[in-house]
Amino acid sequence: MNRPRHIVLTGVSSGIGLSLARRLSERHRLLVTARHPGDALGELIETRPDITFLAIDQQQPEDAASKLAEAIEARGWDWVDNAILNAGTGWAGEPHLEPAERLRDSLNVNLAAPIAIAHGLYPFLEKREGRLTLIGSTAWKGAGAFAGYAASKAGLHGFARALREEWRGRVSVQMLHPGPVKTAMHAKAGFDPGWIRNLFLSPDDMAMMIEKAAARGPAFQNLTHFRYWNGAGLLGRNL
Ligand SMILES: NC(=O)c1ccc[n+]([C@@H]2O[C@H](COP(=O)([O-])OP(=O)(O)OC[C@H]3O[C@@H](n4cnc5c(N)ncnc54)[C@H](OP(=O)(O)O)[C@@H]3O)[C@@H](O)[C@H]2O)c1
């Protein structure tokens, strides 16, 4: 049995983050964030006393990072073993029609906030040679109708590459790029994938692949259908 870890997880009110919170709270101590907990997370917290919820808005990156660092100290944690920065948002449509505030939201929530949060987490992660896992998207290389979102994830990929070198030997940095997942994110972005949504992976299956990749620690990995169906994403230990 692995020892209980101190895990920070962002974006837990729905989708992949909620599935990760369910999985990881079976064995570990969690500090989780979103703007609001939502009913499903509220029910989970009632049964799992080792989850602490913190409301932060990643549209305010520095504020979110400092509140999170304060909450880690308030919880009495000297260190963090794993941080999984999963919160994300997007907008879909003709790139030149993307409203400026939606583009700003994507860049703040998906890029500026994870950078600020990573900086704030460094002293806690460094104490135990912890691991920072950044959640990107296979869309980072470019995806029809998701130009601003792709830019935010591509920026995060560049940050991960640099940080991996800077923090080598002190904190391990990895970036995981999920393929399409059956969550509310597409509807929130104003995008209807149509019948093809039936082929998307479930949030529970993606959470399982993320946990196993976080345990193995590859620097960069695409978490796609292909990895799921050929079994590669399901192998190995959990955190
Ligand atoms: N679904 C896919 O097909 C897919 C594919 C590739 C990558 N991803 C990535 O996977 C991650 C999780 O996405 P998901 O599909 O699970 O979407 P989701 O169900 O919409 O969950 C997104 C989470 O991010 C949080 N979030 C959004 N804006 C926030 C803000 N301003 N401040 C704080 N938290 C905020 C949301 O909380 P609130 O309640 O506060 O909104 C929610 O908990 C994202 O990084 C996404 O880019 C998803």
In the reported structure, the alpha carbon of residue 169 is separated from the centroid of ligand 1 by a whole-number distance in angstroms of 30
Looking at the domain 6-234, which fold is it? Rossmann fold (3.40.50)
Distances (CA, A) of 143 to 115, 123, 228, 239: 23, 36, 21, 31
Q: Which atom of ligand 1 is nearest to the CA of 57?
A: 32
Distance 185 CA to ligand 1 centre (A): 6
Cα 36 to Cα 55: distance, rounded to the nearest angstrom: 6
pLDDT at 196: 93
Question: In what helix (H) or strand (E) does residue 67 lie, and over which residues does it extend?
Answer: helix 61-74
- Whether the model clears a pTM of 0.95, i.e. scores above it, the answer is yes
Hey, whose CA ends up nearest to atom 19 of ligand 1? 15
Mean pLDDT confidence for 18-38 = 97
- pLDDT at residue 2 is higher than 80: no
Per-residue pLDDT tens over the stretch 214-233: 999 999 999 999 888 888 88
- For a ligand 1 pocket test, name from 9, 181, 186, 211 the mutation site with the most ligand atoms within 8 angstroms of its C-beta: 181
Q: Is the pLDDT of residue 189 over 60?
A: yes
Q: Which two tokens stand for residue 156?
A: 């995060």
Given this model, what pLDDT does residue 224 score?
94
CB 160 within 8 A of CB 177: no
Q: Which residues are near ligand 1 (CB < 6 Å)?
A: 11-17, 34-36, 56-59, 86-89, 109, 135, 137, 178, 180-181, 183-185, 188
CA 16 to centroid of ligand 1, rounded, Å: 8
Rounded to the nearest whole angstrom, what is the distance from the C-alpha of residue 122 to the centroid of ligand 1? Answer: 23
End-to-end CA distance of the chain: 10
Per DSSP, the chain holds a count of helices (H) and strands (E) of 9, 7
Query: Which pLDDT score, from 0 to 100, does residue 27 have?
Result: 96
Q: Please, which pLDDT band fits residue 1 given cuts at 50, 70 and 90?
A: low
- 88-102 b/e (C-beta count within 10 Å ≥ 16 → b): bbbbbbeeeebeeeb
pLDDT tens string 82-94: 999 999 999 999 9
Write the pLDDT tens digit of every residue in 131-180. Answer: 999 999 999 998 889 999 999 999 999 999 999 999 999 999 999 999 99
Q: How many Å apart are CA 128 and CA 124, to the nearest integer?
A: 8
Are 8 and 80 a contacting pair, CB within 8 Å? Answer: yes
- CA-nearest residue for atom 23, ligand 1, is 11
- pLDDT digit string, tens, across residues 36-90: 999 999 999 999 999 999 999 999 999 999 999 999 999 999 999 999 999 999 9
**How do the domains of the chain map onto residue ranges?**
6-234
- Distance, CA 1 to ligand 1 centroid (Å)? 31
pLDDT tens digits, one per residue of 94-112:
999 999 999 999 999 999 9
